[in-house]
Structure 1
Amino acid sequence: MKTMLPVTSSLLLVLISVFKHGSAESHDVLYPYGTDQGDKKNPVEDDGTSGEIPLSIEFQFFGKNYKSLHVNNNGVISFNTAVSQYTPDAFPLTNGETFVTPFWGDVDNDLGGTVYYRESTDPSLLQQISEDMEKHLPDLHYKATWAFIATWDKVAYYGSASKKVNTFQAVLTSDSYHYIAILNYGDIQWTTGTASEGDAYTGLGGIPAQAGFNSGDDTHYFNIPGSRTNEVLNIQSTSNVNHSGRWVFEVDDFKVPGGCIFQAKFAAEGEEFWREDVCGTKCTCQGGKVSCADEACPESATCEASGSFFTCKTKEKTCL
């Protein structure tokens, strides 16, 4: 029985205000899943796991190759060991933990929902992934040869006194040269279980879910904007590839399309921001790279938090 919270790191970021939103509805992002697709099911168990799943290929993640993984009920794919922790820590975690986390929160599939997974070389699935990558990463000329799909379908949260459920998916795929992770978000209705100080009736508050990647060191990690804040509830309407509810990453040599990574935070292409709370250094994301220069807010503006970074906001004049 859950009686106390694990130790957590300090909050890293909040949702940035500039995203590339797509016109597609979030339900369009999910690849086919379920027993009719050949999926296996995780145990119906609070904080449960699939156990170690051998892979037919070596999947490259942050420069290391992995031949197996675990699908954990609490919204984590892990490469080294199973993860039963239910309250998410802020990335980076530096003790060797290697995670792909579409939505690390306190799932309780005993109260509702199913966790599915499968490894696949099905031609129709690979063709669908290849066509999507042609839209999202046209310069890569990507033709999928392998995929692993994990889907958390209509899963409830621990301590739930409501009917709120979440549906999300993580896809690992390779063309034998490149290694890609796709995080897909269907309907997201809750952020937090009661053992993480969430509200039983709303599924909100407390320490919300974490989404992103962790390589096990203090350098190679990424937090999807909104992670461990209430704004993670809106993750189904955000994207880095102009397709609402989908985030796509190259994870062999880590790259995030659609913008820049700056201090493990996402800045959209063309975004201008200040990197500190005194607004003394202005930065711009251009061509996937961030350039910064000394520049302060004008006297007519104030320095205010704006998502992951800061912005100069012009003071409003009061008319008498």
Structure 2
Amino acid sequence: MRLFLVSQLLLVFISVLALTRAQTAPPTTTDTATTETSTAQPTPTDTATTTQAIAIATTTAWTAPPIFYPFGSAAGDTEQFENGGDTYRDVAFSTPFMFFGRMYNNTYVNNNGLLTFNQPLPEAHPYPFPTHGSEDFIAPLWTELDDIGIGRYSYQQYTNGSVLTRASQEINQYFPHKGFSASWVFVATWDYVQTSDVNVLNLHSAPAITFQVVLISGGGYSFILMNYGDCAATYYPVEAGYDTISSTDYHVIHYAFDGSYIPNLKNTSNVNVPGRWAFLVNNGTETENVIGVQLKLSSFLDLTLNENIEDVLQKIKQELVNRGASSFFEMKLRNVETDKEKNVAGRETFELITLT
């Protein structure tokens, strides 16, 4: 009887012990491997790959439009960083540049998108062309660039190499039958971004204003190219074009009291190349030809007044240049006749001749 009871107690003890071990047993090897696999951290190779991918995505270099000539430190330019300082650089030309009959040995590269020859004007607001003043202006985009953010303007001149070859080819494309060969090129570029962060400036990761002017000469001829990339809208007055002393020659690409239009500049052209404008600004050693053209125009203006006559002549000239004519010609009035019998409204007609 006692043996039977002892046996029963022993069986109960063994059963309880087995149950306790089953409840507290550690996970099997298979379960442990599965858990580790599902929570594994990236291997060193994965981490390096991820870091490299991020670096490539955030440091991709910004590139200028193809119409731009080389510029910046990579091209060997002299650079000026601009952060609201109203700066300028006085640059001596290695070769004199002829601009509508006046020879210049230097230019002032102003921070506000303007080239001047007699004095620097880095702080000036743009003047509407024609100014009828005492200064020659080359204004690819004259505006308050230093107030929109930070940026750089840079410049370089060339007397040999691929830049001269390119300039010769492009000028001969736009102005054929001259057999032009460039002997000197001056490139000035402005690149500003609406930011105060230099990294944002370098990456162009904010709205930017980027444009360029190229002075080209050779064989007595002088040309200018104006190249436009992205140009973010601005609230400041803007002027694009050129003007001369007493405004004997000028051209307005765009002028306005605000810069809401300038994003469109990269789509405009007078040589059928979006973003590029080209002008002949000195006609070399060619003999001047006088061509008589008789026009009959109707006008509500009193064309016996000199100021009205000059205004009409300049508008006609600008329209001709917009349609591809060389900018180097003059228009002079020969006589004015009022024809009230043929025109009941009393509009006036006049004749003019052009000098090319």
TM-score (norm 1): 0.64
Structure 2 partner of 1:169: 212
Check whether the contact 1:47–1:86 (CA below 8 A) recurs between aligned residues.
no
Contact 1:117 1:151 in 2 (8 A): yes
- Which aligned pairs between 1:169-248 and structure 2 lie closer than 5 A? 169-190=212-233, 192=234, 198=235, 207-225=236-254, 228=257, 230-248=260-278
Choose the corresponding residue for 2:319, options 241, 252, 267.
267
**1: distance between equivalents of 2:322 and 2:146?**
40
C-alpha distance in structure 1 between counterparts of 2:222 and 2:115, whole Å: 15
Amino acid at match of 2:218: D
Greater relative contact order structure (CA < 8 Å, 6+ sep): 1
Contact 1:241 1:248 in 2 (8 A): yes
Q: Which residue is 2:282 aligned to? A: 252
Measured after TM superposition, the shift of residue 262 of structure 1 is 5.2
| Separation (CA, whole Å) in 2 of partners of 1:46 and 1:211 | 21
1:74 CA drift (Å): 0.3
Q: Which amino acid aligns with 1:89?
A: Y
Q: Which residue pairs with 1:38 in the alignment? A: 76
**CA drift at 1:88:** 1.2
Distance 1:249 1:286 in 2: 9
Contact 1:213 1:221 in 2 (8 A): yes
Task: Output aligned runs, 1:37-116, within 5 Å.
Answer: 37-46=75-84, 48-108=86-146, 111-116=149-154
SS in 2 for 1:36: helix
Q: Does 1:150 pair with 2:188?
A: yes
Deviation (angstroms), 1:62? 1.5
- Could you tell me whether the CA contact under 8 Å between 2:239 and 2:254 is conserved in 1? no
In the TM superposition, residue 216 of structure 1 has moved relative to its aligned partner by: 2.3
CA distance in 1, matches of 2:318, 2:193: 28
CA distance in 1, matches of 2:189, 2:66: 14
Alpha-carbon displacement from aligned partner over 1:90-128 (angstroms, at most 9, x marks no partner): 012233121100000111289322111011123111111
CA distance in 1: counterparts of 2:313 and 2:85, whole angstroms: 33
Give yes or no for contact 2:136–2:244 (8 Å, CA) kept in 1.
yes
Alignment CA distance shift 1:106-1:46 (3 Å): same
| Root mean square deviation of aligned Cα | 3.5
- Give the drift of 1:36: 2.1
Letter of the structure 2 residue corresponding to residue 266 of structure 1: Q
In 1, Cα distance between the equivalents of 2:93 and 2:326? 35
Match status 1:133 vs 2:171 = yes
Unaligned 5+ residue runs, structure 2? Answer: 1-63, 197-204, 285-311, 332-336, 339-356
- Residues 95 and 56 of structure 1, relative CA distance in 2, 3 Å threshold: same
Distance 2:123 2:207 in 1: 21
Residues of 2 paired with 1:78 and 1:65: CA distance? 13
Partner of 2:59: none
| Cα shift at 1:68 | 0.5
Instruction: Measure, in 1, the Cα distance between the counterparts of 2:101 and 2:195.
Output: 34
Q: 1:37 to 1:208 in 2, by over 3 A?
A: same
Q: Distance in 2 between matches of 1:216 and 1:102?
A: 18
1:164 shift after superposition: 1.9
Deviation of the 1:131 alpha carbon: 1.4
* Unaligned stretches of 5+ residues in structure 1: 1-25, 193-197, 199-206, 255-260, 272-284, 295-320
1:65 is displaced (CA, Å) by 0.3
Query: SS in structure 2 opposite 1:139?
Result: coil
Amino acid at match of 1:175: G
Are the aligned partners of 1:49 and 1:82 in contact in 2 as well (CA < 8 Å)? no
State how far apart, in whole Å, the 2-side matches of 1:157 and 1:78 are: 27
Residues paired across the two proteins, number? 234
Q: Which has the higher helix share?
A: 2
Kept after mapping to 2: 8 A contact 1:88/1:210: yes
What is the distance in 2 between the residues matched to 1:33 and 1:132? 18
Q: TM-score, normalised by structure 2?
A: 0.58
Pick closer, same or farther for the CA change 1:50–1:287 going to 2, 3 Å: closer
The higher radius of gyration belongs to 2
Cα deviation, residue 138, structure 1: 1.7
Deviation at 1:45, TM superposition (A): 4.1
Assess if the C-alpha contact under 8 Å between 2:191 and 2:210 holds in 1.
Answer: yes
8 Å contact kept, 2:83–2:149: no
Residues 86, 111 of structure 2: 8 Å contact kept: yes
- The percentage of aligned residue pairs carrying the same residue is 32
Residues 110, 222 of structure 1: alpha-carbon distance in 2 compared, 3 angstrom cutoff: closer
